[in-house]
Structure 1
Amino acid sequence: MTNTTFNATGTADNLAKHSGIRTILQWLAEPPAPHPADELPSLRANLKAWRDVGGTPQQRARALDGLYRRSCSVIDDLLPSLTDLTLPVPAKARRVVRSVLDLLQMLADETLVLPNGVGVDRVDPIERMTTLDLAVWRSLNALARQLLIGHMIAAPARSGTWQQLHQTFAVARAQKLHTLVPEGAASSPQHLYHAAVLLGCAQPASLTAREVLFLAAYFDRFADEIEPIAAAAAVQPGTFWIDPQRDLPAISCSRRLAPPTVALDGLSCARLTALLKTQIAKLDDGTPAQAIGLPDFAGTPAGLGVLRRLAGRWSDSGKRRFQRRRQNHRTILSSGIDGLWQLCQTGEAADLELSTWMITNESPDGYAVMHVSGKTGALSVGDIAAVRTGGEQNWQICLVRWAVSENPEHLELGLQILAPRAVPAILAQPSDALGTQHLRVLILPEIPLLRSSQLLVVASGALPKQRQKLILVIEKGNLVVREVKRTNVDEQTGSVDILSIEPDENPF
């Protein structure tokens, strides 16, 4: 039997705990791994050990500070790699994402355990200004990043994340720290919280990963434009209410009014919507994005389209026009302008990627579908798609409005029907450098009582903004040359531009 040796300052167990804190500090002094993902296991292991190791309060605070900063640096390095992932996110990439989310949850929890082991709800008032403000800010930041990454991969928020975000902010507000900027932080807890809430209000399932990152940066800049209101006053478009006791993002009053018997928080995006419209008008007039304090992405068709959709959602009541009917029948889907062009021009071909989906519900203007089999290809929100059900001959042309992917084997899409069929065409576009360019485009017919003009679907950013007159070549049976002009930009996404067109009365 081995005897345990005691010294004057404590037991061998205490020595081991002090040794543990030194091990963490030594690891933090080492250079990071060559690839950011290789840091994740060590960061999680050290954070797990941090709670139980000994050391002085100063050592523990220094270790937690180092782990937090290193974790944020690693996650910042990993974020760009998430913007190019296809949906559903492959299993290998999702394992990395899960590891990041685990790390962020640990940070959200551990930063609220102060160096002396006391929880944030039992902080001595003397320590409040120097300790609690930064602890709450870091916890909120970790939770907001969790939600951001979930939005980027079209995954639902982890259970409890929204509720923890609301309640952590409630702690900051109760301690009167919500408007203070902690030392070393760039914003107040309130600003950070409002930016995360706004991203949830922007219907992130309807955004690509790049668009999510863009709006996250936008809200980080303009979150102070939010106007807090009483939840009972959240009845106009662009107003939302929050129940801190529920694990949900802010709820639009257009979907459901706040219950009158419960004291809840409300917010209005009216002032932010007005700012959005002003910025959109300036971008349309040719003002560079940077000149009005926006990222370069705001000046691209995809960025401008995101801002337009957001301003439209927050200005309109958004009531559903048709009731949805639950279904469980199959449909075939193809996506992308080139694929649909080939489909409409020559019919199904051996090299054309088709996939099978189950329609889970439908209405006269769209479908919700769940992937069953077949390769989905590089399918993303904002892409053009075509579906054919049953014995129908025509392919309905749709726009992918939203996507949800809970795991690598699961993908659901929301499809808005644009037209019952499409006509494939070639757009002849003069170019000084390359002669005449020929682009594959789709012409969507007018729909009586719904849309009086034809639509032209073209790859995003393919047409110069100033070019109004277009030459279309249609070759199906007979060769037809049409001269048209665009009258309006109906939709801009990261994949396609959809334009209203009409015959040109003053042809070339």
Structure 2
Amino acid sequence: MPLPQSVSVQMTPVMEWLASEPADDPVADLANLRQYFGRLPEPEVAGPLYQQCIEQFELRVADLCDRVKPRLLSAALPLSRELHGATSELVAALLDVARGMWRIAEMARERWRPVRRADPEVLVARALAVVHEAFVLSAMGGAAAPAGLWRCAYDIAGAGDGLDAVLTARRETRAGEAAYQLKRMFALSVLQPESLTPRELSWATEYLQALADEAVLSRLAIAPVASSFWVNPSEDAPPVAMVRNPAPASSELLHFSAFGMSRLLAAQVDKLNESETEAVASGLERDGELLEPDLSDLPLGLTLVEALSVMVRMRDRWAQPPNRVQPRRPHQYSVQVCAGLRAIWEVARPGATSSRIGEWMVYNESPGGYAIMSVGGLSASLSAGMAVALRRDAAHPWSICIVRWIRSENPEQVELGLQVLSQTGTPVSIAFRGADARSTTPALLLPPVTALRRNSAILAPAGTYSSRRFVLVHEGEHLYVAQARVLSLDMQTANIELFQYEVDPYPI
């Protein structure tokens, strides 16, 4: 049946733009995409042309993602106004395209509809893949999932025969591909993407491609309960850990577990640790030869140290989701904040001053940490896993913290979740035996804390720890030099390393 002339006139500029070459500037190309997508008539009116256009829009948003993601990988929060706006618009465009594909799948199930031959289950899986891309892009930009994203995913997955059709399906089947896309989103969500840097998040997303099918979806509770999550498809919310909030009584709930993924990941972590030990003994490059794809099966983009750090966190969060044991109390008072290990090291030295101290607002706190919000201009680039020092005023000592999560819903505001490592820190310099660097590295000496560690600890830049023994230098009233040895590596992120040590009783 030919289209009405008014519809043809409406569709012609859209199809001409889709057939043209993308603009060199992705921001301008995105603006055009949003404009022309808004001109699409309803699918019932456009008929087969609607499906053709949506498939072309799917390719165009994929191309835009490929061009915007590299900018996010190298950007620190808060994003520039232009990049923040482009990311938000691209996420909205991805969700629009996913909903369009869902409508095509629904039309394909109604055989009397005038659409091209298409497999509804394949379209559903592709639409979920687009929603997954929107979720990843939003997290890379430091924002929470936009309103409607999770409900959109549940609606798409529940189309047709409903969610029950995908729960037990393997990826080799058509329904299994939709289940696979849901598992990818759930597994990434429970990793708390706000606690990962954009590079770590991109790496984890690629790593999940080969592992996500080992996760489990079910209508029934999944053992072990401590590792499982529940989802209410009628709500716009991500999976909730059972250990944090028990599942309500409802027959509509889905249950999710990544425990099987954590077991496979644990085995690979152990294997890589063994390979690293052998590499050090034989002189291989830890971050080069060990990460050849045919040797490690790991995605590229992170060094071995960084990859292992992410893998350990993935294993732990899938096997033992974190549970808040200390109550949070709402507060509202201003504090001084210094971000970055080198900046903290400088301001902690006697008589030192720094222009990198900013004013922030505490809006809740617990015995083990704070949630703070920027209230003034930001003078430092921020990322998850970096060191931050906090104090009430100049009369109080600096509390040394680590950024557990970071959110930035707009370029003018950043929120940080901080874990307290120590109520004080002493600036020192360290040098490891066998390290490539021929100079000492600035670090912070943290005293023992009964609830956290029995020994003194060193907070140093990531990649500093390279052997058991190191030299510690403290320039105070008297110069103090000691040879020490590492007892345990307690924390490792893309920015810092925290290890306990003792003064070596048998110095060499």
| Superposition TM-score, scaled by structure 1 size | 0.88
Separation in 2 of the partners of 1:475 and 1:172? Answer: 70
Aligned to 2:464: 462
Aligned to 2:130: 142
User: Which runs of structure 2 are paired with 1:191-202 in the superposition (5 Å)?
Assistant: 191-202=180-191
Q: Is 1:443 aligned to residue 432 of structure 2?
A: no
Q: Is 1:255 aligned to residue 234 of structure 2?
A: no
- Aligned equivalent of 1:110, options 73, 84, 100: 100
For 1:331, the aligned partner's letter is: V
CA shift, 1:206, in A, is 1.3
Aligned to 1:334: 338
CA shift, 1:72, in A, is 0.9
Change (3 A) 1:497 1:129: farther
Q: Is 1:189 aligned to residue 178 of structure 2?
A: yes
Aligned to 1:312: 316
Separation in 1 of the partners of 2:113 and 2:13? Answer: 32
- Aligned equivalent of 1:36, options 26, 33, 36: 26
Change (3 A) 1:355 1:499: same
Change (3 A) 1:186 1:438: farther
Separation in 2 of the partners of 1:177 and 1:229? Answer: 11
Larger radius of gyration: 1
Contact 1:21 1:63 survives alignment (8 Å)? no
Unaligned runs of 5+ in 2: 277-289
Contact 1:333 1:354 survives alignment (8 Å)? yes
Q: Is 1:160 aligned to residue 148 of structure 2?
A: yes
Contact 1:341 1:424 survives alignment (8 Å)? yes
Contact 2:374 2:413 survives alignment (8 Å)? yes
CA shift, 1:58, in A, is 4.8
% same residue: 25
Separation in 2 of the partners of 1:412 and 1:324? Answer: 16
Q: Is 1:506 aligned to residue 506 of structure 2?
A: yes
CA shift, 1:243, in A, is 0.5
Separation in 2 of the partners of 1:344 and 1:128? Answer: 68
Separation in 1 of the partners of 2:321 and 2:37? Answer: 46
- Aligned equivalent of 1:397, options 375, 396, 400: 400
Q: Is 1:324 aligned to residue 328 of structure 2?
A: yes
Q: Is 1:280 aligned to residue 269 of structure 2?
A: yes
Deviations 1:8-65 (A, max 9, x none): x98xx93342244343333233222112222112222222223359998554433322
Aligned length: 491
Aligned to 1:24: 14
1:286 alignment partner, SS class: helix
Q: Is 1:301 aligned to residue 290 of structure 2?
A: no
Contact 1:202 1:310 survives alignment (8 Å)? yes
Unaligned runs of 5+ in 1: 1-8
Deviations 1:366-412 (A, max 9, x none): 11111111424012110011111156431111111111222222211
Change (3 A) 1:28 1:248: same
Change (3 A) 1:261 1:56: closer
User: RMSD of the alignment, in Å?
Assistant: 3.0
Aligned to 1:66: 56
Aligned to 1:212: 201
Change (3 A) 1:31 1:125: closer
CA shift, 1:276, in A, is 1.4
Change (3 A) 1:348 1:446: same
Deviations 1:263-304 (A, max 9, x none): 311122211111111111122122634323211346533322
User: Which runs of structure 2 are paired with 1:427-438 in the superposition (5 Å)?
Assistant: 427-429=430-432, 436-438=438-440
Contact 2:427 2:442 survives alignment (8 Å)? yes
Separation in 2 of the partners of 1:476 and 1:133? Answer: 69
Aligned to 2:259: 270
Change (3 A) 1:316 1:433: closer
Contact 1:429 1:437 survives alignment (8 Å)? no
Aligned to 2:210: 221
- Aligned equivalent of 1:371, options 370, 374, 379: 374
- Aligned equivalent of 2:162, options 168, 174, 192: 174
More displaced, 223-232 or 375-384? 223-232
Change (3 A) 1:450 1:45: closer
Separation in 2 of the partners of 1:477 and 1:358? Answer: 35
Change (3 A) 1:283 1:446: same
More displaced, 80-89 or 157-166? 80-89
Q: Is 1:420 aligned to residue 423 of structure 2?
A: yes
Separation in 1 of the partners of 2:175 and 2:222? Answer: 31
For 2:405, the aligned partner's letter is: W
More displaced, 173-182 or 479-488? 173-182
CA shift, 1:354, in A, is 0.8
Separation in 1 of the partners of 2:496 and 2:312? Answer: 15
Contact 1:154 1:403 survives alignment (8 Å)? yes
